[in-house]
Structure 1
Amino acid sequence: MSQQAILSVNSGSSTIKFALYPVQNKTLGPAILSGVLEGLEPGGIICLRLNQQILSADSINSKDEETRFAAALQWLQSQVSLHAGAFEVCAVAHRIVHGGGHFADSCIVTADVLQTLRGYEHLAPLHQPHNLDGVAAFAAAYPGVPQIACFDTGFHATMPETETRFALPLREHEQGVRRYGFHGLSYRFVSHRLTTLSRRASGRALMAHLGNGASLCAMQEGKSIATTMGFSALDGLMMGSRCGQLDPGVILHWLDQGMDRKTIERVLYKESGLLGVSGISADMRTLRASEDPRATAAIAQFTYRVRREAGGLITVMQGLDLLAFTGGIGEHDAQLRADVVRGLSFLGLKLDDAANQSATGDRAMPVHAPDSAVEIWVVPTDEGMIAAQDALTLLL
């Protein structure tokens, strides 16, 4: 008899990240299979990175754009089946960026649920449509297998109205124009992991998810009380190609200059952030390797924004007991961590330089000096595990 497993999926515009978690005695085991299907964007070269191996997809790359996604998904399904051995997929758990005001807890996707979530696509245009297309595609690939929606906004449902409310007319708030917050699956994982590592995790904790998308979250007693992202995934920190916090008057100025909506959306989501400031790349690793002063300026601005927003959240919490870094930049960029901590040293934060240099995101580890007033951790995130765990809970 085949052993059951849950497939966790994060469908994006150009990639599908996935992991397969075995179900053992009503609990999840470590992922037996993980990877990313890349090159799904128009003109991209499709390949599959599977457990550190790269598999080519020449036959799929030769197809026209309309059939590439479906063919790539079918190929992915066959590769998962091939490498999963005796494991049978009993549920597919999907990361869904926006749950709006209706969804905080993970749920089984029905036709009505999918239709409601489609209504939030304009709130996260780079993510939500692809997330939901992935749900539909995997439902077709695995007929009869439950599809589970797990929401990035859900973790922040505990934020008070003083945090979620904009200073706009009440009618706008009642129609859903409010702050939601994102990166919730990542924060849930990091929060849970920290509770097994430090007693201070139940105190005043600041979590920094720093990657191509970046945000901070203030957490007390394990619950989100404030975060830097808001109505959309544009707000807050400077990001890879997203602007972060922006005076809305800039949008009005652009409209007066005759810019249309699609152009504005492209500038805000795809041409700003590290890419916009540097004019070189949205990838922090590329900028670190560059001697161009524009790269240096972009890194400095990114670091400054993290420190600036951190100060606001620390004030909301009335102090700080623990700081945790996660995400692609947070886990791997030791210099960024050092620069952020140095900017917060007036609060008594002190790094252990050797520990900071050795923290490469392969495991959770403390990087604070023995005499630091605040614990500092590097915790690799696993959004897929959280989504798979929610799926298992719904199925039990």
Structure 2
Amino acid sequence: LKYIEDIIDHITPIVMKNFLKPMLILLVAAPIAIIIVGPAGILIGTGLSQFVFFVHGQLGFLAVAIVGALWPLLVMTGMHRVFTPTIVQTIAETGKEGMVMPSEIGANLSLGGVSLAVAFKTKNRELRQTSLAAASSAIIAGITEPALYGVAIRLKRPMIASMITGFVAGGVAGLAGLASRSMAAPGLFTSVQFIDQDNPMSIVWIIVVMVLSIVLSFILTLVLGFEDIPESEDELLDAETKGNMIVEAPVEGKVKPIDSVEDDVFSREVIGKSVAIEPTGNKIYAPITGTVTSVFPTKHAVGITGDDGVEVLIHVGIDTVKLEGKPFTSAVEQGDHVNSGEIIGSFDLTEIIEAGYDPTTIVVITNTDDYDSITSFDTVDVSANTSILGVVKK
């Protein structure tokens, strides 16, 4: 869908995007989903189901561990539904199901545990509220979608913590021989489905697996860490007073996705965290207050080190070094001290375009690794005083 959206976005006239773009995306994506993706998902899911039940027949508890690790991915893609008929049939024929349902205990509660860890560590009030709500949903009712989509997938590393925990807890549940007598999403209030009236120790094992799932996932999330999400541009602006920094746009124009830049060094952010701007003006402004550390001989790029240590590279155009400086003028020299918003150069936008070069201007934090996080502001139209990056110290 992402690639379809990118293509249709390029071919749809601006004045018609609001109604024409969604319609065209649906017309293209729906047949692909119905004819290719849907059937492929069923085949893959059915094959995975057969493989898992085969492993369970050969290795027992290990299959429970594997499903526990994979369960978040299965839920994410919807393929967990292929297990439903088998679970229902197994319970109807034998009175219990001892592979898929026990694996869900660790998978579900681990997503609750990682959400609690995120709520504990994040400084984002909205994310904390989301995480607490997701944690209660996963732990109490076994409903994991809020934790999965709102926390784990969004922050990535908590997803890894959840999968590791799912494997460990699933293995313990398999070794303990836990089995479900009904089909309900495993959680605190539905754990009674695993009680075996002929084995009083089953209650103990249920508690052990549940506590293990929450505690282990909580600890792993704190150990692995995650990149916190700033609350808003205002929060990052406030952060500036605490020793953190704001980087402003060096040119007027429109921000574009960095991965759309036709230069692998910039699009993959090899040099550092970057922002791409399609310029509409012809002036180059200092994005920070600091000292000019380099002015390229071709004048198409300038490096500035801020008074607080952040290193910023302004690179006007893609491959414009080949123009040998003809469209560019510089108002500063190496060693000059400049203030944020001060004009440090200019360029002839028309000349760059007519010469066949892309004028996209790249702003790069070249010492990205020195900071705890660098966040792009959600802005499109920018000018000399528009904040585009928030730099947070370690």
TM-score (norm 2): 0.24
Larger Rg computed on CA atoms: 2
